[in-house]
Structure formats: C-alpha cells, structure tokens
Structure 1
Amino acid sequence: MALPLYLVGLSHKTAPVEVRERAALDQAVALPAALRTLGRAVVLSTCNRTEIYGVGSPKEAKALLLARGVEAHHLYQKEGIEALRHLFRVAAGLDSLVMGEAQILGQVREALFLAREHGATESLLEKAFQSAIALGKRARSETGIGAGAVSVAYAALDLALAVYGDLTGLVVAVLGAGEMAELFLTHLKAQGVGRVLVVNRTPERAEALAERFGGEAYPLTALPEVLRQADLVVASAAAPHYLVRPEDLPKRAKPLFLIDIALPRNIHPGVGRLPHAYLYNLDDLERVVERNLKARQGEVPKVEALIEGALGDYLEWYAGHRVREAIRALKGWAHREVARDLPQADPLTQHKEAGRRAHPWILSLKTRTKAFLQGPPCPEDCPLLAFRPRP
C-alpha cells in the first residue's frame, strides 16, 4: 500500500524572503494554532523554509499556507516516498542554503519535539522524523558533508586555528560590534581564549557585545593600546577609511595575526608587510570557503547513498507496521464474527473460534509472500481488504 505521508512547503529555492517571512510560524501562537487545525502534522519553520509534514490529505496544509499570503507557485508538494526522501535530504543538509550546514538538524529535532508537545504526532511521523534525525547524524559523522568552513566568520576562525593551533589563553581583539563581529565571537567562545577586547566607535555597542561574551569594551581612541595587547585581531567595523595603518602597529617580538573581514577594508594592506604581522582579507577567506564548498559537493553521492539506505529501512519498518495493524484488525473482526454467529457460546469457546478463523489470514500476512496477495476470497467486510497492497 502507498505510504500515506505528504509534504507541503516553501523554501529559499521557491520563495523570496518577504514571502518566507509571511509563511513563518512562531512557536508561541501561530504554530500551536496550525497544529490544532491540521490535527496530525509536524511543522518545520526556519528562516529559509516552512514545511508541513503530515499523514493523509495535504489539502488543509496547503490552504493554511495560502491563507498566510503565500501564492501557489511558491509551494511544492510531495507525497509518499518522495516526501520522506525530501525530509531526509533536509536533515542531511543537502537542501540547505549552505550545503551541509549543521543548524538544520537541530531544527528538525525541535520540530518533532514541538509537535509532540502539542499532541500532533502519530506513528508514521514519529518514525519518519526519528529516522531523519538519525540519518542527519550519520551524514555528518560518516561523510565530509559538514567539514570545513563555509562562512566568512568561521573561515576566519579556521585560519586562526591553522596559525596558532590552539587559541587557549590568547588575547583576541575585535574591531566593530556588528553582526559579523558577533558571529565570529560566537564561533570563538568555545575555543577557550584568554581575553576578548571589543573596540567600537560607539562605546555602548562595544559594552553590550563585550558583556555578552565576557569581554572588555574599548572606544576607538584606545585602539593603539588594544593592538599592543592583542595576539589576534579581527576587523569588521563599518568605516570609510583604514582604522589600522602600518604606523599604528607597535614594535613587537611575538607575531600578530590580523583578519580583515570588513568591506571597505579596516586594515591597510601595508600592515601585512611588517615583520611579525600576518594579514588576511576577505579574498583569502572567500577562497577558503569556495574550496570547502567544492569539497562538500563531492560528498553528496555518499550522503545520497545513506539516504537511500534509510528509505529502505523505513519502508521495511512500514511494511511490518501495516502487518501489525492488519493483525489487530483481523483479530477484532474475527471476534465480532464469532459473537454474531455463536452468541450463546461461552467466552473461552468464542476466543478459540475467533483465533481459528483469523489464523490463516494472520499466517498469510506474516509471510508477506505471494500467498498474501493470492489468498482465499475475503468477505466484503473483512478488514484485510484495507491492507491489501495495490497491484
């Protein structure tokens, strides 16, 4: 019998950001309301996608997204094995904006937890999402789909680790307090650096960012002092001119590693020609990112092989699941038949007779062989008819 899963959704591939914003379902209000409307469903809602996975008809899921201002051409719809394959590709990072990104796996897990919390899951969805999460973990541990830096901020960290090997105890200075600086500090936090110095033209922003990461805030006028203390400098400030010139760097015995990820650049190219100074800019980092993305692309066939194996495992589980459902239904049907035919018989006799009538059908189901498809004629009200595979 066909797998009764469906998927209706939109993503960065089919809809611009303003449409994705309208489709997004917040966890506090919109998501619980959607799950109440849909009944049995799991909703995966991120900045790059809103997807509804369910069992049965996708009609209500599609209507729900259209009602949020999404147009039909923004949506994709998949059913059965294709819906399941799509979920597995999403969890493995193959359908992400950045190939192999790890965040999506946590979002898939969170979608399942939220559906459980609102009583919206059932056995097929539970198994589908559990299988997707397990597959996502395998893809990252058994292939290189998530290896290497594929963002500028993470590439900056990779370069720092390549130079120093270990960042423990180092003094890191960050010029700027915007999104890129925050992203770099997020990556840096787990590396055990000694001190974080945040320099910004607006002291309040420097203080706010430094407080988040246990660092120290400095105004731009204190930059020379900061450069004397730092081992690693990451520049991402919005400035129309160079903030660091060769003459600004104090003489030093130990090397200084500088990464300029600002545009326009914050650090004069001449700084890289100074003794003990090592300067990298956006072009250097983007080459690292491009190389790593190509390496990830080469891992796609390995991940797809894992996906096909996981699909086979799910379908095998589903076949057994349907057989168990059929056996329960057959037993109930046999008991009702016996109760109708032998109303005066004692419970034990009825139980034995029901077992006798159901036994050949149960054997046929368990073997799942040609005998099941070509078994004896089944009465019109026999529940086995609901489970017989389609020709």
Structure 2
Amino acid sequence: MALPLYLVGLSHKTAPVEVRERAALDPAVALPAALRRLGKAVVLSTCNRTEIYGVGAPEEAKALLRERGVEPRYLYVKEGMEVLRHLFRVAAGLDSLVVGEAQILGQVREALFLARAHKATESLLEKAFQSAIALGKRARSETAIGAGAVSVAYAALDLAQAVYGDLTGLTVAVLGAGEMAELFLTHLRAHGVGRVLVVNRTAERAKALAERLGGEAFALEALPQVLAEADLVVASAAAPHYLVRPEDLPRRAKPLFLIDIALPRNIDPRVGRLPHAYLYNLDDLQRVVEKNLKARLGEVPKVEALIEKALGDYLEWYAGHRVREAIRALEERLLREVAKEFPHADPLTWHKEAGRRAHPLILALKAQARP
C-alpha cells in the first residue's frame, strides 16, 4: 500500500547555518509564493530546518530549494512511510537540536495553519499533520521526554525554584543586559518575582532591558546597593574580571543566593565561603543539564513506541480513505454511464440505477481492503 507522500528538506543535521538561512521561507512573502508553486504542500520552516511535505513527486520541491542556493548534498528526500515517521519524530522533539524541546510542536502546528490559510493542504497532508500534533502532545504528557532543564537559563531557573520554592515577591538582581540575561529575566517574570534589578556597565542597555521587562536599571557603580537589596543574584555580564568579590557583599541577616552563568565568571569563587552566601556556577548548572538530558534520552524508546502506534493508526485510516476515494470515483463513473444510456430519464432515475449497479462493486472493494 504505497503512501504518495514526499519530504524534501534540510536541517541542523545536514546543513550549516548559512545554508539554512538561504533555505528559510519567511511567512509573509516567500512561503505563500512557494505554496502557490508547489500546489498541495505544507512547509515547516524554522531556524534549524526547512522541510517541504507534499503529495506526489518531490521534483518541484527539490528545484525550489536548489534555486535558493541549497546544493543537493545538503538535502534529504523521503517518500511514503518514511515521511510520516520523520514528521512524527520531529513533532515529538526527537529530531531537535535539544531532544524533547517543546517549541517545535507549536511550529508544526503553525506550518499546518499557514498551509490551510493558503488552501495548500489536502486530506493526506491534513491527516499526517493532525496525527503528528496529537502524537507530539502524547509524547510530552505520557513520557518524560520534555522533563527537566536542558539549557543553562532553564537550569538556573530550576535551581532558583529549588532554593526558594515559590519565587513570588522575591527581589532578583541580574548582572548584564545581554541575550542570556534577557532570557532568564523573561523566565523569572513568568514565575511572579517581585522587583527586578538590572545592573550593567552601560547604563543605557540596563535601562532598555529594564523597561522591556518591567524592572529597575542600575549602573555598575550601584552594585553594592543592589547586592544589599537582592534575594537572588544572577550574573551573566561580559567582563574580563570579577564584578562581585567577598568585600563587595554587605553584612546581611538573610541568605543571598548567587548564580554565575557568565564565562569568564563574574563572581569570585571565594564569595561562596561567606556566611549566608550560596554560590553556584556554570559547571554546577551544566551538571544539572547533562543529568536531565541523559534522563530525556532514556525516554526515547517510549516515544518511539508511541510513534509506531501512530503510524499504524494512520495506515488504518489511509486504507479506509483509499476505499472511500475508490467508491466515490466508481459512483461518479456509473452515474455518467447511466446518464449517457438513458438521456431522457430524470436525475432521480439515474441515481437509482447507478446505485443499483454500484452496490456489488462497492462490496467487492470493501472486501479487498480488509486485512
């Protein structure tokens, strides 16, 4: 039972970033044009992959990507069941740069919605993507494939939650105003922290980040004041020397937790020996990340079992779909024949006669489709 699906794509596994950039299809212009050219297709385009899923022959999809400067050696081409298996692995997070990451499932859903918006889907693709989305949800709810922090920013957040339990109302200081600082602050804001104090060598950058995330900006000279007020300090500044040394910490009655995710380090390791100061560095977080990633990899066989079940379900649906399509084509053909034989009869007579002739043939088609 040949499945007429194809996949042409490239990903972080087959192509460097400069090639993936050329292949990427922006949703405003390039994607609609590609869908018009391809006919019936769904395009999954992210920073790590561009994949074209379609029905029929893959030649046009290959040509489209070649015209965007993608050499054939960077492409993978799959057909039939291997298309489904790959799509299901992608939706479950097994083909991601970080195994089990959750963002890809939303991207698969968005790819389907965009194809629908441009009237580029059909029944096989619709069912394939709906099945992939359902499978991705099951993988995350029935296994631990997405459990535990596997990025430094998430690991730092996990550590903060482990220390404090509830982060609501805490005063958090962040040293640095770069991408890592912003990512961590975004996570913190989602967990209801109180005050957010942003410290940076360049006051303008501190102010810009603080305004975006509802915090307070401080220049580096104000660091002693910030350390006196904070419950939790996260350091991610680009600095060639320590920004926090033992002599910088004021005496305090309540403990201060410090997480140093900068490289080179921002916090002098001697700070961790002070009373009421608890210091964690990048190595501590990396051990958490590696442990969680190992645990995720242990869940892969469970996800693979869900994928095989989903593949079986799709094939069962496809068998019924083929019968339904064959019956529809048969009924249309017989109706044309009857109308030609009895040109003066009314439409009701045509349908009755076509139905009578179709009945034994439909029973034969259904019998052939049974396993």
TM-score (norm 2): 0.98
Q: Does 1:206 align with 2:189?
A: no
Q: Does 1:258 align with 2:258?
A: yes
Amino acid at match of 2:254: K
| Residues 171-320 of structure 1 mapped to structure 2, 5 A cutoff | 171-320=171-320
Amino acid at match of 2:150: V
Q: Does 1:32 align with 2:32?
A: yes
Report the Cα distance in structure 1 between the residues aligned to 2:293 and 2:354, rounded to whole angstroms.
62
Report the Cα distance in structure 1 between the residues aligned to 2:170 and 2:369, rounded to whole angstroms.
67
Q: Does 1:92 align with 2:92?
A: yes
5+ long unaligned stretches in structure 1: 373-391
For residue 47 of structure 1, what is the aligned residue in structure 2?
Answer: 47
Q: Is the 8 A contact 2:323 2:369 kept in 1?
A: no
Q: Is the 8 A contact 2:92 2:139 kept in 1?
A: yes
Report the Cα distance in structure 2 between the residues aligned to 1:340 and 1:206, rounded to whole angstroms.
80
For residue 127 of structure 2, what is the aligned residue in structure 1?
Answer: 127
Amino acid at match of 1:302: K
- Per-residue Cα deviation, 1:293-352 (whole angstroms, up to 9, x for no partner): 000000000000111111111111111111111111111111122223333444443322
Report the Cα distance in structure 2 between the residues aligned to 1:245 and 1:347, rounded to whole angstroms.
92
- Per-residue Cα deviation, 1:204-261 (whole angstroms, up to 9, x for no partner): 1101111111111100000000000100000000000000000100111111110000
Report the Cα distance in structure 2 between the residues aligned to 1:114 and 1:185, rounded to whole angstroms.
31
Amino acid at match of 1:11: S
How many residue pairs were aligned?
A: 371
- Per-residue Cα deviation, 1:173-192 (whole angstroms, up to 9, x for no partner): 00000011011112112110
Q: Structure 1 vs Structure 2: percent identity of aligned residues?
A: 85
RMSD (Å), alpha carbons: 1.2
Report the Cα distance in structure 2 between the residues aligned to 1:346 and 1:243, rounded to whole angstroms.
91
Q: Is the 8 A contact 2:173 2:196 kept in 1?
A: yes
Report the Cα distance in structure 2 between the residues aligned to 1:362 and 1:316, rounded to whole angstroms.
19
For residue 82 of structure 1, what is the aligned residue in structure 2?
Answer: 82
Greater mean alpha carbon deviation, residues 126-135 or residues 144-153: 126-135
Amino acid at match of 1:193: V
Report the Cα distance in structure 1 between the residues aligned to 2:349 and 2:251, rounded to whole angstroms.
99
Q: Is the 8 A contact 2:172 2:232 kept in 1?
A: yes
Amino acid at match of 2:263: L
Report the Cα distance in structure 2 between the residues aligned to 1:242 and 1:303, rounded to whole angstroms.
45
Amino acid at match of 2:236: S
Amino acid at match of 2:356: R
* Structure 1 residue matching 2:264: 3-state secondary structure: coil
* Structure 2 residue matching 1:298: 3-state secondary structure: helix
Report the Cα distance in structure 2 between the residues aligned to 1:312 and 1:188, rounded to whole angstroms.
42
* Structure 2 residue matching 1:36: 3-state secondary structure: helix
Report the Cα distance in structure 2 between the residues aligned to 1:317 and 1:112, rounded to whole angstroms.
19
Distance apart, 1:83 and its partner CA = 0.4
For residue 9 of structure 2, what is the aligned residue in structure 1?
Answer: 9
For residue 343 of structure 1, what is the aligned residue in structure 2?
Answer: 343
Greater mean alpha carbon deviation, residues 213-222 or residues 351-360: 351-360
Amino acid at match of 1:219: A
For residue 109 of structure 1, what is the aligned residue in structure 2?
Answer: 109
Q: Is the 8 A contact 2:256 2:278 kept in 1?
A: yes
- Per-residue Cα deviation, 1:42-101 (whole angstroms, up to 9, x for no partner): 110111000000111111100000111111010000011100110000000000000000
Report the Cα distance in structure 2 between the residues aligned to 1:369 and 1:244, rounded to whole angstroms.
73
Amino acid at match of 2:353: E
Distance apart, 1:369 and its partner CA = 4.9
Q: Is the 8 A contact 2:319 2:369 kept in 1?
A: no
Distance apart, 1:366 and its partner CA = 2.6
Report the Cα distance in structure 1 between the residues aligned to 2:181 and 2:347, rounded to whole angstroms.
75
- Per-residue Cα deviation, 1:95-143 (whole angstroms, up to 9, x for no partner): 0000000010111111111111111111111111111111111100100
| Residues 135-154 of structure 1 mapped to structure 2, 5 A cutoff | 135-154=135-154
Amino acid at match of 1:242: Y
**Runs ≥4 in structure 1, deviation > 3 angstroms?**
342-349, 367-370
Report the Cα distance in structure 2 between the residues aligned to 1:295 and 1:80, rounded to whole angstroms.
32
Report the Cα distance in structure 2 between the residues aligned to 1:261 and 1:122, rounded to whole angstroms.
48
5+ long unaligned stretches in structure 2: none
* Structure 1 residue matching 2:313: 3-state secondary structure: helix
Report the Cα distance in structure 2 between the residues aligned to 1:250 and 1:160, rounded to whole angstroms.
21
Amino acid at match of 1:8: V
For residue 321 of structure 2, what is the aligned residue in structure 1?
Answer: 321
